[in-house]
Amino acid sequence: MFEYAMRKAVNAIPILIGVSILVFLLVHLTPGDPARLLAGPEAYEEDIEAIRERLGLNDPLHIQYWRFISNAVRLDFGRSFRTQRPVMQDIRTRFPNTLQMAMVAITWSVIVGVSIGVYAGVRPNSLGDTVSMASALVLVSAPSFWKGLLLMLVFAYWLGWLPASGMGESFFSADGIKRMIMPAITLGTGTAAVMARMTRSSMMEVLNQDYIRTARAKGLGERNVIYRHALKNAMIPVVTLIGLQLGVLLGGAVITEQVFAWPGIGTLVINGINARDYPMVQACILLIAVIFVVVNLLVDLTYSLIDPRIRYN
Amino acid sequence: MKRVLSILVVLMLMFALVACGSPDEPADPDNGEPAEPAEPSEPDDDDPDEDAKTDWVIALETDIVQFDPIQIGDATTSGVAFQIFERLMTRAPDGSPIPCLAEDWDVSDDGLEWTFYLRQGVEFHDGSPFNAEVVEWHFTRAQSDDSNFQAQFSAITEMEIVDDHTIVFTLEEPNAAFPDNVIMPNGGFIPSMEAFESMEYEDWAMEPMGTGPFMWSEWVQGQRVELVKNPNWWGDGPILEKVIYRVIPEANTQVIELETGGVDLITRASVQDLERFEADPDLNVIVTPAYRSRQYELNVEAFPFGDKRIREAVNWAVDMPNIVEAVASPITVPSDSLLPMAGWAYPGEGVLPNIGYDPDRARELIEEAGFEMVGDYYEKDGERLSIEIHSPDHRYFMDKDISEVVQNQFAAVGIESNVKVMEWGAFLDEVRAGEFQMVFLGWNQSGADPSLFTDAKVMTGGRGNYANLSDPELDELLREALREQDMDVRKELYEEAQFMINENVWHIFVGNESLMWIHPANVRGWDPGPAISGDYTQLYFE
């Protein structure tokens, strides 16, 4: 298993180099001049040129790339054009906030999503199944922007139960938990809905298998059949999905973060893109790529825990 | 069952539409130009209540960046820096320079030497003294390669310290707008030299130390900036204990935070929200004129605007005052000049030659220019009279919406046009390169000196003259107006310049964009005017 993990990690290197080239080219080829955006539209042309020179933007692209990648391997992503601070410093401050929100969101959405999926999968085409699957469809289709504002309108504005936005000082305080509720719900509903639909179809497929009939024929209780025999086997595609969703939540919580003024990595990327803050965007995108690779590796390794037939030797 | 479900879905979608409304139109207080503080006003009769709130919470769109004054380029940081740092002079409500760190100043007869008499006994937040040495050090840095404002201060050729509290600036040539350069926020902010020398640069830039009414206290990245009262401030006040900035990027969230008491001040809102706030007795809406002009600039080097008749025709073709009234009122106010109406050089409504709304006249001029109507649009030698209108979206108040109405009115007289909306960075690239026919642009300044507008926008080679406009006669007039020290003469010269600008028909003037402030109704002692807003020293809650 360790060997397998190592092999996967080595395989990730070319992927990350590819991502680094792609993101480097994308940010540099996007129209928009960082120096001009930094100086503001009312700036003097001489001042803009001086900033461009200072940021090293007048060097040929391949030199700029080499500078970026040779520092990146030492985990030095340079200084932000906007703040002049090392970008890793900002990422280290912001990433835990995103991680916190994503973990809470994935936890509740897996619990709720899988439970609903099992419930619906066991009773296909019943009223409960139709209602839960229709609600899942609505929730997965509703944009986070809308869900977030709607929650805010109801719980902050009308009922006044929760603070509208911002993050608490600590997650383990009443204020911290209160402020976590709406962002985590907004972020997790889509995932919960996808999870429910996936679990349902996976369950329905497994429940038609011969070994389930055998289990029932042996006289096992229905509960035992569903949870010990069916669900475990139905989990493989669901675990894959959890992995993918976790990556999406960590890298794609941008809108939820914007709506709830949550100081995470998404806001960092958005501000970086708007200001053409190349070092910041490059570092964040690479980080998100690394997360995807790591999460996928973990998912691969989890398979063998769920299904003993899968071995990594 | 299916029917019930579908009704449910439809209801939810309708609810969505109603609840969200349009997430539109922030009156984007953009650019690195915050407004300016007023002369401290007398508090109202009733003294601040002892139980009243003492912290003033302001919503920010983005987080602060860094506080090295010579590199501040964003409005957010600039606004916060405004509480911490001070400049040699500040502005009176009418925009004219008044004493701040300099108690007084005079200028030599030839207009070359400016002597500043510095306020005595002023200390920075770290306890170090403010004196002529600090001023010299700061302006030397502001002229260095590290500065984003090198060009702004390049006119200073020499600085001479006469004594601890007197310093003489020598200029390359007479410049009546020199105080406006010294006063410009960011570059003009004077930080502690001692702190600069004793701290690591990075720490110094993130723990600003100035002489202002509020002191740096805490920053939680991406969330909050806290400033506390400077008890040793040389002026009168402040009454507040704290000024807190909260980072809330989303405009709708800011509105809900204001209405639920999470913040005390927001500076952008949609037209619909403004109407609602105005009806709310618990909230105050203040709309103040600002030095922010908005206009379409016509590229005289691009088809079809080389022909003055076409420039006139597009002006006759749009009913701009009514468009602005219908789409962007009350934030944008129609104007007929490049210069802001709140400034001292604007001669008043109806004085300047201005083109009205007359579609028939527009058609006549187009035909005079040799175009013929073919189908719905004019053509000349097989080329259609077609205009691409470059427009930003949400950069200026209702920018894209105004452009769309202009497009319709163009069509009504036979001019084909399309609105090209681009992301701001990409937009600036194309506009800067002169790759446009007609573009919606604004020009924001913190000061009222007309040269800040004219010399940048219409002087040959001006830094904001993207349309490559050039009129040697006008250039000469503007140079003369900048050298002139007598204010009455300057006013006349700038009036003449405005006549010339309007007669060249280089623009379709849109209007002046105001600033807006929405806060609880129990706020007292704060009166944001055209050149002011950042002065919270007399502010208190009742």
DSSP state of B190: B
10 Å Cβ neighbour count for A38? 25
Q: What is the pLDDT of residue B14?
A: 40
10 Å Cβ neighbour count for A296? 17
The answer to whether residue A97 sits within a structural domain is: yes
> What number is the average pLDDT over the span B511-540?
86
Of all residues in chain B, the percent with pLDDT exceeding 70 is 90
- Distance from the Cα of A7 to chain B's closest Cα (Å) equals 38
Place of tokens 């109507």: B373
- Position B93 pLDDT exceeds 80: no
Structure tokens at A285: 């995108």
> What number is the average pLDDT over the span B321-334?
92
Residue B19 with chain A: CB contacts under 8 Å: 146, 149-150, 153
10 Å Cβ neighbour count for A291? 19
Q: Which residue has the higher pLDDT, B49 or B95?
A: B95
CATH number of the domain that residue A177 is part of: 1.10.3720.10
Residue B439 phi, psi (nearest 5):
-135, 140
Q: What is the pLDDT of residue B218?
A: 92
Residue A216 to residue B219: CA distance in whole angstroms? 62
Residue B286 phi, psi (nearest 5):
-120, 125
Residue B214 to residue B79: CA distance in whole angstroms? 12
Residue B443 to residue B307: CA distance in whole angstroms? 25
- Interface with chain A: mutation pick from B253, B256, B457, highest number of A CBs within 10 Å: B253
Q: Quick one: pLDDT band at residue B530, thresholds 50, 70, 90? A: low
CATH number of the domain that residue B181 is part of: 3.90.76.10
Both B486 and B376 in one domain: the answer is: yes
CATH number of the domain that residue B400 is part of: 3.10.105.10
Task: Identify the domain containing residue A185 by its residue range.
Answer: 87-288
Note the ipTM here.
0.82
Burial class (CB in 10 A: 0-12, 13-18, 19+), B22: exposed
Residue B491 to residue B481: CA distance in whole angstroms? 8
The answer to whether residue B390 sits within a structural domain is: yes
Residue from B367, B396, B397, B372 nearest B382 by CA: B372
CB contact under 8 Å between B221 and A93, yes or no, is yes
3-state secondary structure B347-368: CCCCCCCCCCCCHHHHHHHHHH
The answer to whether residue A307 sits within a structural domain is: no
CB contact under 8 Å between A84 and B31, yes or no, is no
Q: Which range, of A258-267, A303-312, B16-25, averages the lowest pLDDT?
A: B16-25
pLDDT tens per residue, range A146-205: 999 999 999 999 999 999 999 988 888 889 999 999 999 999 998 999 999 999 999 999
Distance between first and last Cα of chain A? 6
The answer to whether residue A250 sits within a structural domain is: yes
Closest Cα in chain B to A97: B222
Task: Identify the domain containing residue B300 by its residue range.
Answer: 294-513
CA distances from B182 to B30, B100, B153, B177, B185 (A): 21, 12, 8, 9, 8
pLDDT tens per residue, range B247-272: 998 889 999 999 999 999 999 888 88
**Element housing A53 (H / E):** helix A45-54
The answer to whether residue B374 sits within a structural domain is: yes
Q: Are B120 and B165 in contact (CB under 8 A)?
A: yes
Place of tokens 């003993």: A308
Q: What is the pLDDT of residue B228?
A: 96
pLDDT tens per residue, range B338-384: 999 988 899 988 899 888 899 999 999 999 999 999 999 999 998 99
- Distance from the Cα of B537 to chain A's closest Cα (Å) equals 27
Q: Quick one: pLDDT band at residue B48, thresholds 50, 70, 90? A: low
A41, A85, A268 member nearest B428 (Cβ):
A41
CA distances from B254 to A164, B156, B206 (A): 9, 43, 26
Place of tokens 């310049």: B497
Q: What is the pLDDT of residue A106?
A: 93
Q: Which range, of A91-95, B90-94, B201-205, B288-292, averages the lowest pLDDT?
A: B90-94
- Position B5 pLDDT exceeds 90: no
pTM metric for this prediction:
0.82
**b/e for A227-257, b at 16 or more Cβ within 10 A?**
eebbbebbbbebbbbbbbbbbbbbbbbbbbb
> What number is the average pLDDT over the span B467-484?
92
Q: Quick one: pLDDT band at residue B7, thresholds 50, 70, 90? A: very low
DSSP state of A152: I
Burial class (CB in 10 A: 0-12, 13-18, 19+), A212: middle
Of all residues in chain A, the percent with pLDDT exceeding 90 is 31
Structure tokens at A250: 């960590």
10 Å Cβ neighbour count for A1? 10
Q: What is the pLDDT of residue B44?
A: 43
Q: Three-state SS for B246?
A: strand
Both B393 and B507 in one domain: the answer is: yes
**b/e for B492-509, b at 16 or more Cβ within 10 A?**
ebbbebbbbbbebbbbbb
Q: Quick one: pLDDT band at residue B18, thresholds 50, 70, 90? A: very low
CA distances from B399 to B27, B275, B330, B438 (A): 10, 19, 14, 13
Q: What is the pLDDT of residue B28?
A: 35
**Helices A278-306 and A87-122: crossing angle, nearest 10°?**
40
Q: Are B411 and B421 in contact (CB under 8 A)?
A: no
Question: How many residues can be counted in chain B?
Answer: 542
Q: What is the pLDDT of residue B24?
A: 34
The answer to whether residue A210 sits within a structural domain is: yes
Place of tokens 């002692």: B525
pLDDT tens per residue, range B407-424: 999 999 999 999 999 888
The answer to whether residue A299 sits within a structural domain is: no
Q: Does B17 touch chain A (CB under 8 A)?
A: no
The answer to whether residue A275 sits within a structural domain is: yes
Place of tokens 């040697």: B472
Q: Are B422 and B449 in contact (CB under 8 A)?
A: no
Residue A138 to residue A136: CA distance in whole angstroms? 5
Q: List the 249-288 stretch of A: residues with Cβ below 8 A of B.
A: 258-261, 263-264, 267-268, 270-271, 274, 276
Q: How many domains does chain B have?
A: 2
Residue B427 to residue B425: CA distance in whole angstroms? 5
Q: Which range, of A95-109, B39-53, B288-302, averages the lowest pLDDT?
A: B39-53
Q: Does B260 touch chain A (CB under 8 A)?
A: yes
Place of tokens 């309108």: A153
Q: What is the pLDDT of residue B29?
A: 34
* Helix/strand/coil percentages in chain A, nearest 5: 75, 0, 25
Which residue intervals of B336-471 are DSSP H helices?
Answer: 359-368, 399-413, 424-432, 451-457
Q: What is the pLDDT of residue B49?
A: 60
CA distances from B334 to A157, B268, B294, B327, B445 (A): 36, 20, 9, 11, 18
Residue B512 to residue B153: CA distance in whole angstroms? 28
Residue B399 phi, psi (nearest 5):
-55, -50
Residue A37 with chain B: CB contacts under 8 Å: 424-425, 428
- Interface with chain A: mutation pick from B68, B223, B393, highest number of A CBs within 10 Å: B223
What count of CB pairs under 8 Å joins A to B?
A: 164
Q: List the 282-321 stretch of B: residues with Cβ below 8 A of A.
A: none
Place of tokens 């040779």: A70
Q: Does B200 touch chain A (CB under 8 A)?
A: no
Structure tokens at B483: 């050298």
- Position B42 pLDDT exceeds 80: no
Sign of the Cα torsion A264, A270, A274, A280 reads positive
Sign of the Cα torsion A220, A222, A228, A232 reads positive
Q: Following DSSP, what letter does each residue of B309-361 receive, concatenated?
A: HHHHHHHHH--HHHHHHHHHTTTEEE-SSSS-TTSTT---TTTS------HHH
Q: Does A219 touch chain B (CB under 8 A)?
A: no
The answer to whether residue A10 sits within a structural domain is: no
> What number is the average pLDDT over the span B129-144?
94
- Distance from the Cα of B512 to chain A's closest Cα (Å) equals 17
The answer to whether residue A203 sits within a structural domain is: yes
Q: What is the pLDDT of residue A259?
A: 92
Number of H helices, E strands in chain A: 14, 0
Q: How many domains does chain A have?
A: 1
